[in-house]
Each structure stands twice: as structure tokens, then as C-alpha cells.
Structure 1
């Protein structure tokens, strides 16, 4: 392997989640979670409600500090340098926060200026149009429905174009047409090298993730490509979320029983 290829390989390794744990008192919300992500990957973080998906995304984004372990983004520890990490990672939570005194367009303007974006206006208008918000550009987000607020947060994130985009339950607030628009945007940006990690318990077939990470009670109990998991759990036909979760949980229980 040449020096150049080694350098490219190192750059492509955007994310390293290493033995991350998070405790609420004596309760583990996350327990030694580890995985890596490369540039351009779409990773589906799946599990039942309360499995730890949202907490994990918040730890990756630097919104929540891990109790143990660490998250490395492009070789930098989230714990040691939260400010610079936020230049590379954006989390869109299931309930995005906004400033009451700023309009939708002013939010885009504020974020564009904060990230030193040039000639951003046309792209911002296209994003608002794609998600049906262009006519609401001068309205205040606190007057929006939950779905509209999530769409605005998506517009802001996609305008900034981070190296890593984290989406927490993106399908919940979106109507079917907006969900289709989201998948088109996701596929376009992953082709350009953006790494996207989304949490869901109702991921549709058309999402086509490169990899699934299955969580249960704060732990990663299985991970792999769709074909790999289908073979591991001997699932025939389409890889449904229910079948995958059920098989992974049963395998985990069997492994613990054998110990």
C-alpha cells in the first residue's frame, strides 16, 4: 500500500465509536458501544424504543458527554474538542430547537453565516422549495407543525453539508412525500461522501442502508450489511425490521443462556 493510499484510507475513517457508555445513576443507557463509519456510508441504527439510539447519537454529536469510552471524529476526541467537532457533525433530533425571535429564513441565514458559507441563498431556497417551506420562509418556526419544524432542521443541516449527518427518527414527523424527498437527498449526499447515521424503528425498504446496527437495552447486539444479517439470522425474502430485531434479540438471549 502506498503512502497516498494510506492517507486516503485514514481520511475515509471519519468516525470511531470506542466502548462508549452512558449512565443515569446506576442505569446504563449505553453499555460499551463500539463501531466505525467510513465516508459515504449510510448506517441504520435500529432498535425498540428505549434501546439507547437517541443517547448514542447525542454522544456522537457532543450534545451528551459519554460516561466512559470516547468518540473520535477525523482523529479528534469529542470529549477533548467539542467545538471543532461541531464543524463536522450535525444532529437533527426528533424535536429540533429553534429561536423564537428568528424566522425560518433568518435561521438559514444565521447558520450559513456561522459556518462561513458563501453564495448560500439559492441553495437555501431550493431546499425550502423541496420540502414545501418556501412560502413559509418569513414565518416563525414556533408557528409550524412538528413536521414543518423537522423539515426546516433538515434544510439547515443539508445547507451546511457536514461530514457526518445524524438523523434521530426522521420518518416520524414526515409525510410520505417529504420522506421520499429525504431519501433522494440522502442518496445524493452519500454519493458525495457524506456519512449519514439515522435511527429508526420503521425504516422502509427503499432506504437501502449499507449497514445496520441493532441495539437493545443500551448494547449493540448485532451489526452488518443487509445480506450479512439475512444470512446470519437465516431470514428469507425481504429483510424486515421486525424480523431482524426479533432474530437479533433471540440470538442475544441464547448467547447469554449458554454462558
Structure 2
């Protein structure tokens, strides 16, 4: 069995005894690991630490942190996906796959045509849920940094606030004619990609995006689903940037 990788949102150092946080401890217990079993720990700062289970309690797990190693598995540019949230479990799957493909941050947006409508405490709970999915995906795929899931925002308010300062801004659009994404040069250290919900962005929302500096681009002649288009961009960037 591969050595389990666990995210621990605390400072880590060689020789440190550590009680695992609740989520990581449950993971170890589900795997039925025993004292002496090896682990790999990371805290989102780009370093993996060897660790060894030293005690298994009923609801707690103690480990001893070993040597750390700098591990870099990120894309060479920071990609933010700003997207109209797809409905049902599609947003869950999108967060998982985007994490695997190397996204740096995800900005969930409430758009005029959004099927999924979130606000207040419900929005906060969903964000926490999506952050947990990102953590689990980072553990599974070998990343040592966890994407940030930003608070849900109304798209007009988000655009007015000056999103993703620096880097390029791309707007996935069905308008014609548009430059194909495959023809775009990718030189900056950061890219923000804006993608609409089911039914796409409205003309008003696209106009606001243009004003905010987003350049319309096309993914080609086929119409992709709201949960497919952002992942297609990430996959293209990963191949084009060599990771």
C-alpha cells in the first residue's frame, strides 16, 4: 500500500511530536494503521515530511515528524478559476479535478443564470465543504499546496472589486469571432479564467467582464458544459507549460 499522505494545517518540524487533527486522525484510523506505520505529512507550504505513527487512541492519533523535503508539483503559473457554480454535485467534481490539474484558487460566482443559488450561512458551509474536497484531492494527487476556495460572490460585485490583480484575464465566451485559446501566448506568472454557469454569462455580465479587463477567448467549435470548460483550460495550460 502506498504511504498515506495527510494534510496537517499546522507548522511542522523534524523531531516534533504531534497529535493529528481530527480529520487526519480519522483517516489513519480508517486505514487501520498501527504504531510504527509510515506517513507523509504536508501543511501547504511546499514541503513533505516523513512521519511515524507512535500511538493510536480511540479518537486520537499521535505521530513523530521526521525529515522534511521540498517538493514542487505546481504549475509554473498560478491559475485562478472564477466560475458560475454548476449545480448538484458537479461543483464537487470540478473542485476535485481542478485541484488534480493544478489550480491555485477557485472563485465561486453567483451569476444571473446560475442554477445553484447560495448566500449567507449556506454559502459558507458549501465553501467549507469544497475546501475539504480540495484538501482530499491534494492528498491524493501529490500536491504540497492546497488550492484556496474563495467565498461565494456575486459576479458584478466581484468584477467591480478588481479581481485577480496582475497577470492575464481570459473570458470563456461563445461569441463570434474570437481568438482560440490555443493561439494565446502564455507568459505571465498568473492567469485568471472567467467561465459562466449553465446557460453561460449574460451580455451584461460579459460587458462587465470586458470593462474589468477580461479578454474573450474561445475553446473551439463545440459547446462545453459549465463544469467541463474550466477543466479544459487547466488541462491545456498544464500541457502547454510542461506540467
Q: TM-score, normalised by structure 1?
A: 0.26
Task: From the CA coordinates, give the structure whose radius of gyration is larger.
Answer: 2
Is the helix fraction higher in 1 or 2? 1
Normalising by structure 2, what TM-score? 0.27
